[in-house]
Amino acid sequence: WDVDGKKYFDFLAGYSAMNQGHCHPKILSAAIDQAKRLTLTSRAFHNDILGEYEEYMSKIFGYNKLLPMNTGVEAGETAIKLARKWAYKVKGVPENKAKSIFCVDNFWGRTLSACSSSSDPTCYEGFGPFMPGFELIPYDDLASLEKALQDPNVCSFMVEPIQGEAGVVLPSDGYLKGVRELCDKYNVLWIADEVQSGLGRTGKRLAVDWENVRPDMITIGKALSGGFFPVSAVLADDEVMLGIQPGEHGSTFGGNPLACRIARAAMEVLETEGLYENSRVMGETLRSELRKLPSDIVTTVRGRGLFNGIVIKETDEFDAWQVCLRLRDNGLLAKPTHGHIIRFTPPLTITAPEMEEAVGIISDTIRSFVK
């Protein structure tokens, strides 16, 4: 609702930070309870929440270790640091020669490293000089990946299983399995950026689960707190994680008791309340209805689970921004990306009646542009 009491369907959900819905009562209760008890000790001291949280998460995701951070981009930065340290200590890359590979149209944040790996001028223009050792290749292109990985100084390949900011771009079937095979072949760490695509958004715990593959590192964030608090993490096994020794990496707030308690509750909601299945079912319903829209306006519908996008045909009369403004006026909040694409990513808690009403708003809005 807005300040005037008008109701809206939130089809952005904080860029997938609120997979559990707004102010989920279980997460809220955990946040309040922990905030009354202890919020921060700094990592210089032990607390009674961090270890239990790390153990819980490591068991769920099947990795030896979890390194807690705050924002999604911090998780990405941490993963790259871990990969570089591994390159020098394990792979034998000469000092200061490690390279990381990224895909064109990637997006993982706004730090200088993230800007350095971007192909989007709105992200990098005016922010140079950039981080050395970064290389871009086309997304969903195994031949280009193999060519890049043949450089013995390459230590990591960081990729979104589904590109979010690019407009919910899905790779070809088998791409992720191919990534796994190539990274194994050339002894390169695969970093899966699951900050937006993970934690139920696609209908499974992680987007990589659709191909039953296991990256060397996973970065997660956003819905890891259910929208209450900045919480992120890197998951990896000991060979990678223990390359960094005490004092070589840190964060004032990373792993604080409040964040850990919130993240534990947020994960328990995802794991126990049927949200993965609901994401799959509601996503199929949404795409089925979106495909009924006039093709001379909506040229493409794509997605998985409740991670969906539509491509609006660009005309002189209207664009995706104007469609979103009219959606807002009709009671549904969404946002364009790259000018002509609209993402639809509602909370995973959406019910069938709510989806039916929301789809009606989308349909009526799109059809209102038909001449």
**pLDDT tens, residue by residue, 181-203:** 999 999 999 999 999 999 999 99
Mean pLDDT of the chain: 96
Q: Model confidence at 137, in pLDDT bands (50, 70, 90)?
A: very high
Beta bridge partner(s), residue 233: 68, 220
Nearest to 145 by CA among 181, 120, 116, 182: 182
pLDDT, greater one: 318 or 170: 170
206-212: list long-range contacts, CB under 8 Å, 24+ apart. Answer: 206/61, 206/161, 207/161, 207/162, 207/304, 207/307, 208/161, 208/176, 210/161, 210/176, 210/304, 211/173, 211/174, 211/175, 211/176, 211/177
- What pLDDT score was predicted for residue 142? 98
Active site residue 107: yes
Please identify which residue in the block is written with the tokens 């960094």. 244
Distance CA 240, CA 65 (A): 9
Mean pLDDT of 256-275: 98
- Active-site residue (options: 85, 99, 204, 222): 222
Q: Model confidence at 1, in pLDDT bands (50, 70, 90)?
A: confident
- Active-site residue (options: 11, 99, 193, 369): 193
The answer to whether the peptide bond before residue 68 is cis (omega within 30 degrees of 0) is no
Q: What percent of the chain has pLDDT over 90?
A: 94
Active site residue 193: yes
Q: Starting at the earlier edge strand, list the strands of the sheet with 99-103.
A: 65-69, 232-236, 217-220, 189-193, 154-159, 99-103, 134-137
- Active-site residue (options: 11, 61, 102, 107): 107
Please give the single-letter amino acid code of residue 116. Answer: S
Question: Considering only 29-33, 141-145, 201-205, 244-248, which range has the smallest mean pLDDT?
Answer: 244-248
Mean pLDDT of 242-265: 94
Q: Model confidence at 220, in pLDDT bands (50, 70, 90)?
A: very high
Contact 163, 198 (CB under 8 A): no
Three-state DSSP at 190 gives: strand
